[in-house]
Structure formats: C-alpha cells, structure tokens
Structure 1
Amino acid sequence: MLIIIMTSFYIYFKAFHIIGFVTWFAGLFYLVRMFVYHAEVDQKPEQLRADWRAQFTLMQWRVFKIIATPAMYFTWTFGLLMLFTNPAVLEQTWIKVKLVLLLVLVGYHFFCKKVIVNQEKGISKLNSFQFRLLNELPTLFLVAIVLLAVVRDFISFLYLFGGILAFGFSLYLFAKQYKKKRENS
C-alpha cells in the first residue's frame, strides 16, 4: 500500500528534485563567481581590501550554507525518493553513471567550502583565472547529468559526452581569450 501511495507521488518527487538541482546549481555558479571577485580584491585600492574580503566571505558563507547546501540535500532527498518508488531504474546504466557524477559533484560542493575557508584565511592557492575555469565545471556536470536523465541511452550519451568535452574545451579557450583581452585593456 505504501508503494502505491509513494508511486502516485513520483511526479511530485520529480518536480521537487528538479527544483532542488536548479537551486543547487544556481548556488554553485554564484559561489564560484564570488571566488573570482574575492581573488581580485588585491587589485583594489588598499583601503578597500579588508572590507571587500570580509563582505565576500560573508556572502560566500551565506550562499553555501543557506542556498547551495540545503538545495543539495533537497535534491538528494527527492532523487532518492524517486529511486525508492521506482527501484528498477537502478538496473539501468545511465542512472549508475548519473549517480557517480552526482557524487563527484558533491565532492566539488565540499571543495567549494574548503575554498571559502582558505580565502577567509587569506591562503587561497588559486587565482581569478583559475576560479573562472573552475566556475565552468558545474556547467559540464549540469549538461552531462541532464543529458543522461533525458537520453538514457548510454551509447548516445557517450557521443553526447564527447560533445560536452568539446564544449568544455571551447569554454576553456574562450576563458583564455577573455583573460588575454582583459590583460591588454
């Protein structure tokens, strides 16, 4: 009886799962963009640097704790509820690949927390250009995960993933050109 009730809720679980991952990705995109700006604080006038660092750190913690992390848990909760109501999906290759990508994305999420801590301490090892590249990483995850969920054919996904990698390389080339243009301005 419980399975029948939960199966009828599947569509709602799916809707909340989508809301969760959209919010999670929005948080990750914004968070890493702030890493870029935080890394560029040293280019600002001396009298502004301490205040700007403090403000970026405050904003980063808020996005991480109030938006990105709750959204990650929300996404996982409703994704797991979907799997619970339809466990046969776990036998398909695409969901296994998606779950691996999601685990790597969770690693990226907590890597971002470490970046916040390091920037707060003033010991960040990455520069603004490297953060700009890091900001494109969730885009690749987003495209790969959505394509897997929609296409579901693993062979087609492999072709699409090749396209995603080419897209990622194009983003890298664009970022390098943008950096060169900014340096020459």
Structure 2
Amino acid sequence: MLYLYLKALHIIFIVCWFAGLFYIVRLFVYYSETKDMPELQSNILRDQYTIMTNRLWNIITWPAAVLATAFGIWMIIEMPAWLSQPWMHVKLLFVVLLIAYHLKCHQFVKQINNRTMTKTSSFFRIWNEGATLILFSVVFLVILKSTFNWIFGVVGLVGLSVLLMLGIRLYKRIRDSRK
C-alpha cells in the first residue's frame, strides 16, 4: 500500500513540476517580447515578469521537482525490481533529460534576474516543446512498458514536434507580416 501512496504523490508532483516548466517558458516568451516595446513600458513589464518568474520558479517549480524526484527514488527503493526492466532504463534517461532541461531553465531565470536575457520569443516557443516531448515520451513509456511500442510512439512525437515547429514558424511569419 505504501508504494501506491508514493506513486500518487510522485504523479501529483510531476504534474506540478511540468505545470511550472510550461508556465515558466511562457513567462520567458513574454519577457523577451518586452525588448521591442518603449523603454518605460518595457521596464514596468520586465519588473513584473521578474517577480512572477521568481515566485513560480522558487515556490512551485523547484519544490515540485525536488519532491517528484524524491518520491520517484523512494518508489525505486520500495520496488527495486523495476530497475531490471529495459523501459525503466529509458525512462530514467528521460528523467536525466528533464533535469537538464530544468537546469537550463534555471539559467534563463538567472538571466532574467540579471537582465541579461538575449534569447528571442521564437526561441522560447520552440524551447517549450522540449518539455512536451519529454512528457509525452515518459507517459507513453510508462503506460506501454514496451520499448518496441515506445519507439513507434517517439517517432510519432518527433513527427508531431516537426509539425509544431513548422506551425510556430508559420505563426511568426503571419505575425511579422501584420506589423
């Protein structure tokens, strides 16, 4: 029964972690768009986005990441047999990628705090898809528990990500043509 409680808590904090990652990147998009605004408006919005970024990052996203990881480790301690499953090895690879993604977002948060952010909103729109791909991959992997079926799922996700990137570029062209 302990394992099921750990699993429930792990899922809850994974949801919170991803919610934080998805929203933080939206804040990065908004922050980077202030570069094209008049100075007074830009400064006001940058100050507000900095406050929002820090609250989201330090109060929700980091704690959720730590707790999701802690409950995941605890689950493995309770069920060490999972480590002998090939799908778990792939899942843990995605966890490492998620942690790397999280740490890179942390660098962007620091850049916002130092007012040294140089990336464009287009970059962050594409960057946001990284978390989406990790989330989809892990969910399909955990549900299917089959590397073979999972490979087809990832190929589909890569195709979806290409379509998303093309959509982002098309949206940018349409937005730019209206200016």
Indicate the TM-score class for this superposition, using the shorter chain for normalisation: over 0.9
Partner of 1:61: 54
Q: Report the counterpart of residue 37 of structure 2 in structure 1.
A: 44
The CA distance in 1 between the partners of 2:91 and 2:118, in whole Å, is 30
Q: Which of 167, 173, 181 is 2:174 aligned to?
A: 181
Q: How many pairs does the alignment contain?
A: 178
1:115 matched residue in structure 2: 108
* Deviations, residues 2-34 of structure 1 (Å, cap 9, x unaligned): xxxxxx211111111110100000000000000
Unaligned 5+ residue runs, structure 2? none
1:6-155 equivalences in 2 (<5 Å): 8-155=1-148
Deviation at 1:88, TM superposition (A): 0.4
**1:61 and 1:104 mapped to 2: Cα distance?**
23
Partner of 1:170: 163
State the 1:124 CA deviation: 2.0
| Cα-Cα RMSD | 1.0
Tell me the percent identity. 35
- CA distance in structure 2 between the partners assigned to 1:121 and 1:69 by the alignment: 19
Post-superposition shift, 1:151? Answer: 0.5
Q: Which amino acid aligns with 2:119?
A: L
Question: What is the distance in 2 between the residues matched to 1:50 and 1:126?
Answer: 17
Deviation at 1:181, TM superposition (A): 1.1
Instruction: State the partner residue of 2:153.
Output: 160
Deviation of 1:81 (Å): 1.5
| CA deviations over 1:100-150 (Å, ceiling 9, x no partner) | 111111111111111111133232231110011111111101000111110
Q: Is the 2:13–2:68 contact (alpha carbons within 8 Å) kept by the matching residues of 1?
A: yes
Q: Distance in 2 between matches of 1:113 and 1:38?
A: 15
Residues 53 and 120, structure 1, Cα contact 8 Å, conserved in 2 = no
Deviation of 1:46 after TM superposition, in Å, equals: 2.0
- Tell me the CA shift for residue 52 of structure 1: 1.1
Q: Which amino acid aligns with 2:76?
A: L
- TM-score of the pair, normalised by structure 1: 0.93
Partners of 1:14 and 1:60 lie apart in 2 by 29
Residue-by-residue CA offset, 1:63-91 (whole Å, 9 max, x unaligned): 11111111011111111121111110100
C-alpha separation between the residues in 2 aligned to 1:41 and 1:167?
30
Task: Decide whether the 8 Å contact of 2:32 with 2:118 is kept in 1.
Answer: no
CA distance in 2, matches of 1:117, 1:82: 32
Give the gaps of 5 or more residues in structure 1.
1-7
| Structure 2: distance between partners of 1:30 and 1:131 | 11
